[in-house]
Amino acid sequence: MALQKDVEEQFTYLKKGSVEIIQEDELKAKLERSLKDGRPLKVKAGFDPTAPDLHLGHTVLLRKMKHYQDLGHEVIFLIGDFTGLIGDPSGRSKTRPAMTREEIDANAETYKEQVFKILDPETTVIDFNARWLGQLTSFEIMKLMAKYTVARILERDDFANRLAQGHPISTHELLYPLMQAYDSVALEADVEMGGTDQKFNLLVGRDIQREFGQEPQIVHTMPLLEGLGGVEKMSKSLDNYVGITEPPQEIFGKIMSISDPLMFRYYELLTDVPLADIEAMREQAATGTAHPRDLKVELARSIVADFWGEAAAKGAAEEFDRVFTQGEVPTDMEKVEITLDRISLLDLLTENNLLPSRGEAKRMIRQGGIYLDGQRTEDITLELELDKQPEVVIKIGKKRFYRITRKQD
């Protein structure tokens, strides 16, 4: 795609999957001017380098940045190495500990390696806001603070809630929205993107740009992606995430585990499939003309291909089919070596950290969640005789396979 696409085509492409564009008519005007003048829009999104391992939730925003890039606009991946020292208070009930300079630098490098799985490395601008925020004098910071009121800052839900509950708010946290807003001034941003939890900060950017005599940026918010359970947002702390650096088979299997309704949500936010085609797939699944599993396989293939390439996606699909449809064992299993001739199943599961406790191991066995060489066992007293059978494949639940072998002397 290129800038020659007309305004309505660009706008429709950019709006897909979005929560809000403030203001839509202003974005159309900027796109019209861009076509006329041949000047790409400057589109920025800020990332605090606090969680260096990206998951699919992060890629919702990155994919929309790529859409701007597809249309020929300039995308700025802004690493908040200065604001990371403050810590974004968005959605937080307490002050976040400040990061060290070393932590920020290490995480920033990891980010840079990962984002190019989606963004075009040739045209993406990577910048660091310490470049200008670190140069502000105390006098300039005071002037910036004078352009906004405490009352407006305290309109933020998270600040208001913390005050109401008697939780402390550090003074430096009040500066975060202003510093993020100044990023837009320094870059002369036409558009700033973020998740719905960033809306307040993005709107402050519009206000501060006006104060500095600039045309206010467009605020473009994207939804927070639901995790694998389909309820809470995707998060590593909730263990409902799909990491973009996870092995292809792991990504494929996780996508295949989601519900059918969530599948269409993922199609909308994690692929470039047009909305009309997604609605057609939804109708086909409802009427039985297409099997939801087949649609999910295509979704999983698409997502794996984005991060690992088509060959890896094809291999992951074939492996999934071989293991979970044809009932065979994976070609690549974790190996567990045992030095004993005999070992109880309970000891095997717990002493090798395959399950967290004997109680959990007993529960899994009794509920039929343990398979030995494809055969389910519910015997908690079972012993493995590795002197007679030196290799056993054990399956825990539906997806975890281990090759148990007798270690040779």
Tell me what pLDDT residue 326 has: 59
* pLDDT tens readout for residues 74-90: 999 998 888 777 655 55
For 87-115, b/e burial (b = at least 16 CB within 10 A) is bbbbebeebeeebeeeebeebbeebbebb
CATH of the structural domain 248-325, one choice from 3.30.470.20, 3.20.10.10, 1.10.240.10, 3.40.640.10:
1.10.240.10
Distance (Å, whole) CA 194 – CA 96: 20
For the stretch 344-358, pLDDT in tens is 888 888 888 888 888
- For the chain, the domains span 7-222, 248-325, 334-406
Tell me the pTM: 0.74
Which of residues 337 and 71 earns the better pLDDT score? 71
User: Quick one: CATH architecture of 7-222?
Assistant: 3-Layer(aba) Sandwich (3.40)
The 10s digit of each residue's pLDDT in 350-405 is: 888 888 888 888 888 888 888 887 778 888 888 888 877 777 888 887 777 887 88
CATH of domain 334-406: 3.10.290.10
Q: Tens digit of pLDDT for each residue in 185-227?
A: 999 999 999 999 889 999 999 999 999 999 999 999 999 999 9
Residue 223 to residue 234: CA distance in whole angstroms = 11
Cβ density class 9-32: b for 16+ within 10 Å, e for less:
ebbebbbbbbeebbeeebbbebbe
Rounded distance, CA 165 to CA 97, Å? Answer: 20
What pLDDT, in 10s, does the model give residues 262-292? 999 999 999 989 889 999 999 999 999 999 9
Higher pLDDT, 54 or 112: 54
User: Which one has a higher pLDDT value, 237 or 213?
Assistant: 213
Q: What is the mean pLDDT of residues 5-12?
A: 90
How many Cβ atoms sit within 10 Å of the Cβ of residue 313? 21
